[in-house]
A and B are shown apart, each in its own frame.
Chain A
């Protein structure tokens, strides 16, 4: 009886405490965010008016910078998406018994644990037109200095390169863990049957790590749509608004132009976009399997 009460209390505690914390720090702010998104609050005044769906209508019909930002987010999303097959292949190579694979695993994962701001500063120096390492290397081949961060047509790709370098390692480690969970005897049998490394990759590895691929795809959608620290530190969204992302634009809307209501609506739209795209991706993945 005593044990039962103890168990019961333990369960209640484990449920109640996280629930309280979740309500305080997630549920309440989300409800407040939704509430603000229907107002014209300027962030300074004590008063705010309920304006219905006006903020949402403005986002979709009268905010060219929102679309420009989303287009930039699209670049991050697409480049990272295209990199996924390569990441899986690298993970597959690392999973095979090659000399020093543990060392390469560590090196691959390192960028992920380095602080994003530090990475941004480091790449700012690498990309610099004033003696930056990359342009120095190009100059050896008589290639003129490239304006990696100040050319509006190039800046988003330069920034995507930084995020790719940062997050690739984490994806590879996730894929590696999944590949290692594939039973060795299947691969052994395939090898005996004469399957090449590439055939093993396509026919055995890929179908068996579908769940992890789905997770990485979700992380990609979330990461690409919420990318903030790298463009914020390296370009501040510039030149002009050329490298502004959805999150940067939301912050600018709230804190520079005092539209907290509109910014709240943008944050809500971002949340819905992530859910929607992830759902579509999941459908596509499921459909492929069937």
Chain B
């Protein structure tokens, strides 16, 4: 009987542990969810004016290293709001971020602070708190431009251009000028290729996302319209010759056909090719401003590093268009345990020295009117010619609905183009699927 008793107790314990694990979070009152390790009794005794709160903050790997190791954001905010503990969490890339947020959203467990990409704003708009009334939104140059049906759901931290990073010494070795048209760009790459010493352009397309400066941004620049995705959502056949998407992809195909990405661009990851660029085995790489801090740390001679804007135009007579993307949108869920604390944190962040220091360290452009970041390397590139900007728009609801219906993925398309897929067939297939999706979604007139 004793044995049976032990078995019974053990079984009950195991079951209760399992069930507690499954349901405990749901049963906790919302107000208690954010409390830290301090026990309830201790809190009652001290009668603190503000209840202790922990705000989870989901950021990318590199950002995580900065906010934990380089300059602790938890410590910085504790000086302003001692009752709040910032708890950073990390994700690898935007793909993983999107997946994690979807899973956590379905469990109503979104992080208190999250840093979103522009295309995620529409997707998660219903679950995010309105930030229209925050000072951070009022002082931000881009926040209102990215509002979803008037609701500011995220406040962009930085504004970035896409650049071609290049090794000056390789350009000198082959007497190359900085290209200002698409053909000049391809010719420069071909010249390096013919030299046989270096990989002309690094890509790392084993990671599908790595081709985004070409496959995601070029159509918008070609269209001279940052909201091209929305314009496409209103068309039946946006992949037809003459349309910006088709024309941009035709140019990209020409670049891919020139075989200037080394022997096996699809077999090398971005991290692998990045290291080769650091080691001066690669002449050029297309990437955003996020690429520079790594270069500054790992390239022996930083003075050998130059940047120029991707020249999408056909002739020198045309205006030079460049993309700008407001990025890293700070958002908080509308059903979070302490929305007001999260908003207060966002307000603090965009007005703090911490924000200025972070942007300076990461060589990122500011989105706040009053905060100016000096970026000499980029200023040189931006000052070479008069520029017209297109502001990247992640796409409205119609676009997202169509894209989801047909599995529209420009980065995968880039991989397929590199792998030798029939270009014209790819475009006509997309036209067909796009048109059908518009009809089935009731978007056709």
- Interface of A toward B, CB cutoff 8 Å: 2, 6, 9-10, 13, 17, 20-21, 24, 42-45, 65, 128-130, 145, 147-150, 152, 235-236, 238-242, 252-253, 255-259
Contacts and interface: CB of A to CB of B under 8 A. Distances in A.
B90 interface: no
B168 interface: no
B415 interface: yes
Given A6-B4, A10-B7, A152-B419, A241 B264 contact: no
Contact of A239 (B1, B4, B102, B205): B205
B387 interface: no
29 contacts: A6-B1, A9-B8, A10-B7, A42-B404, A43-B102, A45-B126, A65-B407, A128-B267, A130-B272, A145-B263, A145-B264, A147-B264, A147-B267, A148-B267, A149-B206, A150-B266, A152-B419, A235-B206, A236-B207, A236-B208, A239-B415, A240-B413, A252-B407, A255-B99, A255-B103, A256-B95, A256-B98, A256-B99, A257-B407
A21 B18 contact: yes
B11 A13 contact: yes
Interface of A is mostly: loop
* Most chain B CB neighbours (cut-off 10 Å) among A9, A13, A17, A257: A257
B352 interface: no
A2 B4 CA distance: 12
Nearest to B403: A257
Contacts of A24: 18, 22
B214 to A, nearest CB: 15
Contact of B4 (A9, A65, A241): A9
B68 interface: no
Nearest to B14: A17
A129 B268 contact: yes
A129 B263 contact: yes
Given A17-B11, A258-B123, A240 B267 contact: no
B412 A129 contact: no
Nearest to B100: A255
A150 B95 CA distance: 21
A186 to B, nearest CB: 45
A172 to B, nearest CB: 32
B127 interface: yes
Contact of A147 (B15, B123, B266, B412): B266
Interface of B is mostly: helix
* Most chain B CB neighbours (cut-off 10 Å) among A42, A44, A235: A44
Contacts, number: 98
Given A9-B8, A128-B267, A236-B207, 12 more contacts: A13-B11, A17-B11, A44-B105, A44-B123, A44-B124, A150-B264, A240-B416, A241-B412, A241-B416, A256-B99, A258-B404, A259-B404
Given A6-B1, A236-B208, A242-B419, A256 B409 contact: yes
A253 B404 CA distance: 8
Contacts of A148: 267
Interface of B: 1, 4, 7-8, 11, 14-15, 18, 22, 95, 98-99, 102-103, 105-106, 123-124, 126-127, 205-208, 263-268, 272, 403-405, 407, 409, 412-413, 415-416, 418-419, 421
A10 B266 contact: no
A130 B415 CA distance: 19
Sort A-B residue pairs by CB-CB distance and give the 9 closest, nearest first.
Answer: A150-B266, A240-B416, A150-B267, A129-B264, A257-B404, A239-B415, A239-B419, A255-B99, A239-B266
A152 B207 CA distance: 15
Nearest to A62: B436
Nearest to B265: A150
A256 B1 CA distance: 56
Nearest to A7: B4
A253 B407 CA distance: 8
A233 to B, nearest CB: 11
A238 B208 CA distance: 8
B105 to A, nearest CB: 6
A20 B11 CA distance: 12
A68 to B, nearest CB: 12
A17 B9 CA distance: 13
A259 B437 CA distance: 14
A2 B407 CA distance: 65
Contacts of B418: 239
A44 B102 contact: yes
B265 to A, nearest CB: 8
Contacts of B7: 10, 13
A24 B22 CA distance: 10
A244 to B, nearest CB: 10
A172 B272 CA distance: 37
A113 to B, nearest CB: 27
A21 B103 CA distance: 23
B109 to A, nearest CB: 14
A258 B403 CA distance: 10
A241 B414 CA distance: 11
A258 B101 CA distance: 12
A199 B107 CA distance: 60
A17 B12 CA distance: 9
Nearest to A10: B4
Contacts of B413: 240
Contacts of B421: 240
A44 B99 CA distance: 11
B15 A239 contact: no
* Most chain A CB neighbours (cut-off 10 Å) among B15, B102, B264: B264
Contacts of A241: 412, 416
A257 B408 CA distance: 9
A43 B102 CA distance: 7
Contacts of A129: 263-264, 267-268
